[in-house]
Amino acid sequence: MTDTIPPITTAESVASGHPDKLCDAISDAILDACLSIDSNARVAVETLVKGVEGKAAIVLAGEVSLNGDAPDYEAVARDTAASIGYDDHAIGMDATSAELCEVHTFITTQSQYISQGVDGDLDSQGAGDQGIMFGFACNETEDTDELRGRYFPIAAALSQRLTRRLDMIQDSGEIPWMRPDGKSQVSVRLDSKRIQDGCYPESVDTIVIAVQHAKDAGGFSLDGEAQRDFIRDTVWEHVVKHAIPERWLEGFDPANLIVNGTGSFPDPGGPYSDAGLTGRKIIVDTYGGGMHGGGAFSGKDPSKVDRTAAYHARWAAKHVVAAGLADRCEVQVSYAIGIARPIGLLVNTFGTGTISDLELSRRIQTTFDWRPAAMIRDLELKRPIYLATASGGHFGRSPTEDGHFSWERIHEDRIAALKCS
């Protein structure tokens, strides 16, 4: 029998050039293009990508209904893929070339039997589908200056920072041999003396990074030990030390940094190595593990509650923790298609609440309006703000002045209402 595995929580993230994330980005870019034409557009678009020896393909499928001329779906898909870095067939896809990358579009209009249930005012606009959605918040980030105010699981926050750093390197061209495709995983050791009381992160135990690279990265021969060491050292200096706050690297053993664990990740990668599909990274999109309903987010307009209610549930849970009413809070909400009010709403504070979960559920329902039209109104979701969510996580991000990540913004009046309801 081997040594006992220590109490560790793990979360992963993927870079914007990961094939599944590439598909999420294309789907959300199409959504944004449609909302720029008609803020009431109904959109549900899925993307598939795959590269083969001679060429690559992008397949777009779904339903779009809008008041105005439809955007050029093919142009949006090509521009999005190229902006992520897929402009060379040798690395996995050249989205700029009609000869080397085909785009196939299969998009129809929304079924009238769905639209008749999701159009209307606050009381008559029903949910766009049935489903279960979760929102979550915790205080694990709150003792780290760089992360304060996120109210987010620390392993997920750190893994997201690593892949966002990989994306920054790709965008800037800072390290020319790094490619768009990449992944991260962070394992955080828990305080074993307090684990029975909840999740109390103690230190980073293991960091895993996968990054696609040029075959001659560093001027070394492929698969040689010298190249592997060079890539690992570069990732440590330019990715890990930039992305992980110093507090979480204290005591970290660099031997527990695993880079390209199979040895190498050379060109071609991306869609050539793995087919990509919208909605396959739903845990990466949320909290790094657990706490996710049945629906993906990308490519869906805000009438779809599997996106909007998940954002709203995160918003509510974050306010609960920010108000000091719990260290951890999970909000579960469920809907039936065509019906405005939720079927059920359940709150779980995992024993960390200052009031009962039942009372907290009552306060959440009086402080936040869970009807689809109200959630869309309160979070201002009828805007082209979704491409930014396609990589780096939908939650635990900083809200922006131009309306991105509005579900991450804390409102003092709602905190006051939760405390006094």
Say which DSSP state 195 is in.
G
Q: What's the gap between Cα 364 and its chain centre?
A: 25
Query: What pLDDT is recorded for position 119?
Result: 73
Mean pLDDT of 78-101: 97
Let me know: does 252 contact 204? Beta carbons within 8 Å. Answer: yes
Instruction: Please give the Cα distance from 160 to 139 (Å, whole number).
Output: 17
Let me know: does 231 contact 259? Beta carbons within 8 Å. Answer: yes
Instruction: Please give the Cα distance from 359 to 154 (Å, whole number).
Output: 28
Query: What pLDDT is recorded for position 289?
Result: 78
Instruction: Please give the Cα distance from 43 to 66 (Å, whole number).
Output: 8
Instruction: Please give the Cα distance from 232 to 254 (Å, whole number).
Output: 10
Per-residue pLDDT reduced to its tens digit, 179-218: 999 999 999 998 866 555 556 899 999 999 999 999 999 9
| 389 burial via Cβ count (<10 Å: 0-12, 13-18, 19+) | buried
H or E segment and range at residue 193: none
Mean pLDDT of 377-394: 97
Cβ–Cβ contacts within 10 Å for residue 99, how many? 9
Mean pLDDT of 246-263: 95
Query: What pLDDT is recorded for position 421?
Result: 66
Say which DSSP state 286 is in.
T
Say whether pLDDT at 169 is over 60. yes
DSSP secondary structure letters along 201-221: EEEEEEEEEEEEE-TTGGGPP
CATH topology for 131-136+279-420 is GMP Synthetase; Chain A, domain 3 (3.30.300)
The listed CATH number (3.40.630.30, 1.20.1250.20, 3.30.300.10, 3.30.9.90) that belongs to domain 19-118: 3.30.300.10
Per-residue pLDDT reduced to its tens digit, 276-286: 999 999 999 99
Per-residue pLDDT reduced to its tens digit, 266-277: 999 999 999 999
Mean pLDDT of 100-111: 94
Query: What pLDDT is recorded for position 20?
Result: 98
Q: Which two tokens stand for residue 363?
A: 């306060």
Say whether pLDDT at 121 is over 70. yes
Number of helical H runs and strand E runs in the chain: 13, 13
Query: What pLDDT is recorded for position 348?
Result: 97
Query: What pLDDT is recorded for position 60?
Result: 98
H or E segment and range at residue 379: helix 372-379
Mean pLDDT of 315-331: 97
Mean pLDDT of 108-135: 79
For residues 110 and 224, which has the higher predicted lDDT (pLDDT)?
A: 224
Domain borders along the chain are: 8-15+154-277, 19-118, 131-136+279-420
Average pLDDT, the chain: 93
| 373 burial via Cβ count (<10 Å: 0-12, 13-18, 19+) | buried
Query: What pLDDT is recorded for position 363?
Result: 97
Query: What pLDDT is recorded for position 194?
Result: 57
Let me know: does 407 contact 314? Beta carbons within 8 Å. Answer: yes
- Report the CATH number of the 8-15+154-277 domain: 3.30.300.10
Instruction: Please give the Cα distance from 158 to 209 (Å, whole number).
Output: 12
Say whether pLDDT at 236 is over 80. yes
Mean pLDDT of 298-302: 96
Beta carbons within 8 Å of 5's beta carbon, 6+ residues apart: none
pTM, to two decimals: 0.95
Query: What pLDDT is recorded for position 196?
Result: 54
For residues 327 and 121, which has the higher predicted lDDT (pLDDT)?
A: 327
Say whether pLDDT at 114 is over 70. no
Q: Do 131-136+279-420 and 8-15+154-277 fall under one CATH topology?
A: yes
